[in-house]
Structure 1
Amino acid sequence: MTVPPVDEGNRSPGHHIELIDENPSPRHDGEASPGLRNSKGWDGKLRIPKSAVLSNPEALSDPEYSDDENVMPGDEVPADEGKPFLSHLLDAEPLDTDEIMCTHSRIQSISALRLERFKQVARICLRQNSIQEIEGLEGVAATLNDLDLYDNLISHIGRGLEDLVNLTSLDLSFNKIKHIKHINHLTNLTDLFFVANKISKIDGLEGLTKLRNLELGSNRIRELQNLDNLTSLEELWVAKNKITELTGLSGLSNLRLLSIQSNRISDLSPLKDVPQLEELYISHNMLESLEGLEHNTKLRTLEISNNKVASLKGLGPLVELEELWASYNLIADFNEVEKELGDKKSLTTVYFEGNPLQLRGPALYRNKVRLALPQVQQIDASKFCPCLSASYAVNMLTPI
């Protein structure tokens, strides 16, 4: 078990720019959060290094980022002046390269890069530039499978992706996109990123039957809809939106991870439609009860921090549970902790910090949890030797 980093921002193993931060970083609310342990995430922030300078820095702090009046275009080269510079920007690259990376290079026009020279390029990364239009890519359509336009100034998806039918990964995060359009012909896509845009409705995804990972965090989505055709989807990231209900997931028979933090969810019962779910991240919502999880017996990780949950009832059937993150709720009863979690043989990690059962007696809190859950190896941020017996905890609780 590793020290849990934040519940933010990774890509599939082996991806060239997998930027995993091994140290916890503050969330949007200032709390160092447990939960997701890779660089994928609820709003994609950890998919850039901390040392990076965003072309549009509002993206990391302003919830209304990408409104036209808030866009920070950065240091741009005027179009006429920049074209000669851009046309020679890649001259040092071998023509048989399979990867082109031009980040923070003041690029405004993809066409000016003359990408058609590169006959074997499989991946193009043009992060942190000032690109407003997707164009100039038809010359590399035959070989290109990964296109990364993270942190640019793209406001709509035109026809520039029309020929890129071999794409498996497309990242349009941190732009100004309002509508998902002109991508449903990209039937080979497995990973699609629209983090931090202005999207209010999920649509335009029909036909993407190979899609495994969809990131829509930090948008303006109110409803989970039009997902039924995504029959291969394994991971859905929709945190920091305005979603009120967990309906709309019934067609996702392969969904194993749902990140829906910082929304307005109060009822867990619709999750019966995805009984195969293994990881659920639902902190910062409006939960008062865990009832409704009874059918999700495959859950291994459950993150419910920063809600108003007073009871652990509903967790009894979750026999495969390994990690429970429940900080900053209203849980007060150690007897109920033992009743609902004591039989979970695989349970190794629990977080109860900020609950009444911790706040009322912080000095004895961890020993009481050990006594109730002797199988656990980590309580909040503290690890301890799993060989420590429950009898030791009893002795610690017995007055001298």
Structure 2
Amino acid sequence: KDLLDDYPPTTPEIDCVHARVSSIPSLRLSRFTELKRLCLRQNTISKIEDLPGTLTELDLYDNLISHIKNLEHITALTSLDLSFNKIKHIKNLSALTNLTDLYFVQNKITTIEGLEGLSKLRNLELAANRIREVGGGLEGLEGLEELWLGKNKITEISGLEGLQKLKILSIQSNRIRDITGLSSLPHLQELYISHNALTSLHGLEECKGLKVLDISNNQIERLEGLEGLEELEEVWASYNKIGDFNEVEKVLGGKKGLNTVYFEGNPLQLRGPAVYRNKVKLALPQVMQIDATFVRVS
């Protein structure tokens, strides 16, 4: 049976999700002369082949692909999703200079490589791989705005110097002990660094535009380092070792845009859970949400 029987030959988009497709050639895609977006999620495809050169978006999420190849002719491609596959090496992408979004979540990648020349890349997703260091693999990606590196084995933040336009950095669930290497990111707005081994926030001083900071599940005792970050709107600091309401007030009290704070699981909550919310309200009267609960306006 022809899975794509219902699509007209000029269709710009094909969705063939969870359809037991094991090979791309069996779909005979060459008959669709104007195909732009192809989604083949959740199939059993093991080989990239026989794809039309007209594509701008290709989604092969959750298949059995172990090698990136046969994409060189699809030079108009802007979005490529190879998440949840079996890829060990990033390669054969250099011809795809129009790529803006690239997804490799949950593969077996150990090294950031093969991204040379992708100067239009805006969003790079490498979460849940086996990466130990950032290294020099991001050089030349001056357009990058979002970098997702959560759930790897990274021990230090480095190699981000050229990412002048980076707005979002997610590096949660790694093995980072110190915040370093962020002073070269003038436009950073969101930093997700929960579930690491941080003991202090020194290293954030230069991130003057930071709006969202998630430092939950670390070993942080003090909020020193946040004093000059006047743009902060959300601070997620649950499950640390913060114990001093006076310091919370001193460091965060003057930040007018601050609307959300999370402090549950810290000594300042565990020591007196009944009075905790009121004490946070007194320290930070501007805040609209404490932990998962909105502040009632009386």
- TM-score, structure 2 length as denominator? 0.98
2:285 aligned with 1:371, yes or no? no
Alignment match, 1:122: 36
Alignment match, 2:127: 217
The answer to whether the Cα contact below 8 Å between 2:158 and 2:180 also exists between their aligned partners in 1 is no
2:17 aligned with 1:103, yes or no? yes
Aligned pairs for 1:285-364 (under 5 A) are 285-364=196-275
- Cα separation, 2, equivalents of 1:239 and 1:207: 24
User: Offset of 1:91 from its aligned partner?
Assistant: 1.5
- Cα separation, 2, equivalents of 1:114 and 1:156: 21
2:198 aligned with 1:284, yes or no? no
Deviation digits for residues 14-67 of structure 1, max 9, x if unmatched?
A: xxxxxxxxxxxxxxxxxxxxxxxxxxxxxxxxxxxxxxxxxxxxxxxxxxxxxx
Alignment match, 2:45: 131
Alignment match, 1:239: 150
2:38 aligned with 1:90, yes or no? no
Deviation digits for residues 271-302 of structure 1, max 9, x if unmatched?
A: 11213210000000010000111111110000
Aligned pairs for 1:3-22 (under 5 A) are none
Deviation digits for residues 253-287 of structure 1, max 9, x if unmatched?
A: 00010000000111113211213210000000010
Alignment match, 2:164: 253
Structure ranking higher in helix proportion = 1
2:81 aligned with 1:167, yes or no? no
Secondary structure of the residue that 2:169 maps to in structure 1?
A: strand
- Cα separation, 1, equivalents of 2:175 and 2:228: 25
Figure out how many residues of one structure are paired with residues of the other and give that number.
297
The answer to whether the Cα contact below 8 Å between 2:236 and 2:263 also exists between their aligned partners in 1 is yes
- Cα separation, 2, equivalents of 1:360 and 1:345: 28
One-letter amino acid of the counterpart of residue 292, structure 1? G
- Cα separation, 2, equivalents of 1:92 and 1:340: 61
Deviation digits for residues 211-259 of structure 1, max 9, x if unmatched?
A: 0000000000011121021110000000000001111000000001000
Q: Percent identity?
A: 65
User: Offset of 1:363 from its aligned partner?
Assistant: 0.5
Deviation digits for residues 191-230 of structure 1, max 9, x if unmatched?
A: 0000000000000000100000000000000111210211
The answer to whether the Cα contact below 8 Å between 2:94 and 2:114 also exists between their aligned partners in 1 is yes
- Cα separation, 2, equivalents of 1:92 and 1:345: 56
- Cα separation, 1, equivalents of 2:274 and 2:295: 16
Secondary structure of the residue that 2:26 maps to in structure 1?
A: helix
**Structure 1, unpaired ranges of 5+:** 1-84, 389-400
Secondary structure of the residue that 1:192 maps to in structure 2?
A: strand
- Cα separation, 2, equivalents of 1:327 and 1:314: 17
User: Offset of 1:120 from its aligned partner?
Assistant: 1.3
Alignment match, 1:208: 118
Secondary structure of the residue that 1:370 maps to in structure 2?
A: helix
User: Offset of 1:343 from its aligned partner?
Assistant: 0.6
One-letter amino acid of the counterpart of residue 324, structure 1? V
Alignment match, 2:178: 267
Which of 58, 80, 86 aligns to 1:176? It is: 86
The answer to whether the Cα contact below 8 Å between 2:156 and 2:180 also exists between their aligned partners in 1 is no
Secondary structure of the residue that 2:144 maps to in structure 1?
A: coil
Alignment match, 1:61: none
Q: CA RMSD in A?
A: 0.8
2:139 aligned with 1:228, yes or no? yes
- TM-score, structure 1 length as denominator? 0.73
User: Offset of 1:108 from its aligned partner?
Assistant: 1.1
Deviation digits for residues 128-186 of structure 1, max 9, x if unmatched?
A: 1110100011xx21x2100000000001112x101110000000000000000101210
